[in-house]
Amino acid sequence: MSRDVMIDLQQVSKFYRGQKAPVVENMSMTIQQGEIIVLVGPSGCGKTTTMKMINRLIEPSSGRILIDGTDVTALDGNDLRRQIGYVIQQVGLFPHMSVATNVGLVPRMLGWDRKRIEARADELLHLVGLEPAIYRNRLPRQLSGGQQQRVGVARALAADPPVMLMDEPFGATDPMTRDRLQNEFLRLQEQLRKTIVFVTHDFDEAIKMGTRIAVLGDRSKIRQFDTPENLLANPADSTVAQFIGRGARLKQLDLRRVDAITWEDVPLIAPDKATNGAKRQLEQAEGSSALTVDADNRPLRWVNAHDLTTDAGALAGAGQTVTTVEPQATLRDALDAMLASRDGAAVVVDEHGRYAGTVTLDGLMQVIHHTPEPEEPGAGVPDQRAGAAPAAELTPEQR
């Protein structure tokens, strides 16, 4: 076994007495250290059961589960769970205990002394963005839903477990809070490099959070287990494609960043250049626009030859406004910027706002068409949903 393997499920099954079909059947999966593995699938597919078998809240009926090389079925369940972070959708903060007590529960069970528990609780509250001096003595009901879930995450991290299990952790929050919590968590994960098993039924959340995504069918059967990019580009079968839903191409735009595509160059017009010189420059570069920039090379306006003839005076007020994106922005942001600009191009700027290049709709189209076409799922079966939607069709749920 490779050194980097953190969790290894081997032929794991779960039967309940009195039920013919197993809830989870012969599930095998290898998870590397530092990955966020998202288990995604329809309700009742056994994804939560699979997750709970890893910390043995549910005992597997057969198979082996190795964490860092140790078979967990041989360990004491309570000891095991103290070494695995656990976050649930309902947060589950104990209402009669202060925030600090909640966070310190696992260290306390591990026998840390009081000073160390208090220091750790403060450190974690700080880490999740809650000022310890203000929040440590609060009761859970004195916090907003988003704050409660931050405390929930802090509690799960308390004993610095290498593995975390998260069961729809952001599912109960409103869309804005959810988005913020997801971003914060991803940033946190960059520092912490935990191995995380994350359960959700929201495919968009899966794409956003997952290093790899396992799309599960009935009885936790793995239909496809791959990176978000590959999953979107090559759904293994019609069920997976259906689960991805419409607009797979649009979703791909979320995964790629501006710095991953080729930028184009446009003529720049420096501020000190005379109008006439600028005009000549534009006429040489036939039919296109140029960008006026300031002394620091920051983009100002789009101008074309026509702008310069009508406005014989100053260069400053001529032309169209510029929309900019940073190299780290997603292609969706870039598309948004392009659509906002009349010329269908967005200017890429560095962190100081200086011109770095431009991206255009044409360039974007090329990227999308270079990714392999998703196969038409369920050919011959009249299934409207499964058909890949044209990229331009932006339905409300994808926005």
Tokens standing for residue 161: 């477990």
Q: State in angstroms the smallest separation of the CB of 164 from other proteins.
A: 11
Measured from the CB atom, the residue of 147 and 239 that comes closer to other proteins is: 147
Minimum separation from the CB atom of position 180 to other proteins (A): 8
**Per-residue CA distances from 125 to 60, 345, 353 (Å):** 34, 43, 34
Residues within window 50-79 making contact with other proteins, judged by CB under 8 A: 55, 57, 78-79
| Cβ contact 341:302 at 8 Å | yes
- The contact mask relative to other proteins for 166-205 (x = CB under 8 A, - = no) is ------------------x--xx-----------------
Using the Cα atoms of residue 332, residue 337, residue 342 and residue 345 in order, give the sign of their dihedral.
negative
Distance CA 24, CA 130 (A): 39
94 binds other proteins (CB under 8 A): yes
Contact with other proteins (CB under 8 A) among 75, 97, 192, 261 = 97
C-alpha of 202 from chain center: 12
**Least distance (Å) from other proteins to the CB of residue 84?**
8
Q: Supply the minimum distance, in Å, between the C-beta of residue 115 and other proteins.
A: 21
Confirm or reject binding of residue 208 to other proteins (CB under 8 A): no
**From the CB of 105, what's the least distance to other proteins, in Å?**
6
CB atoms within 10 A of CB 142: 12
Which of 233, 242, 259, 243 minimizes the C-alpha distance to 205? 243
Residue 250, token pair as written in the block: 């649009």
- How far CA 148 is from CA of 152, 167, 173, in Å, comes to 6, 15, 10
From candidates 5, 66, 75, 109, binder to other proteins by CB under 8 A: 109
Among 82, 194, 208, 279, binds other proteins (CB under 8 A): 82
Q: Give the C-alpha separation, 340 to 208, whole Å.
A: 25
Name the token pair of 31: 């998870």
Q: In the bound complex, what is the minimum distance in angstroms from residue 34's beta carbon to other proteins? A: 20
Contact call for residue 91 and other proteins (CB under 8 A): yes
| 127 contacts other proteins (rule: CB under 8 A) | yes
CA-closest candidate to residue 253, choices 149, 141, 330: 330
Residues at the interface with other proteins (CB under 8 A): 55, 57, 78-83, 86, 88, 90-97, 105-106, 109, 126-131, 134-135, 138-142, 147, 150, 155-156, 165, 184, 187-188
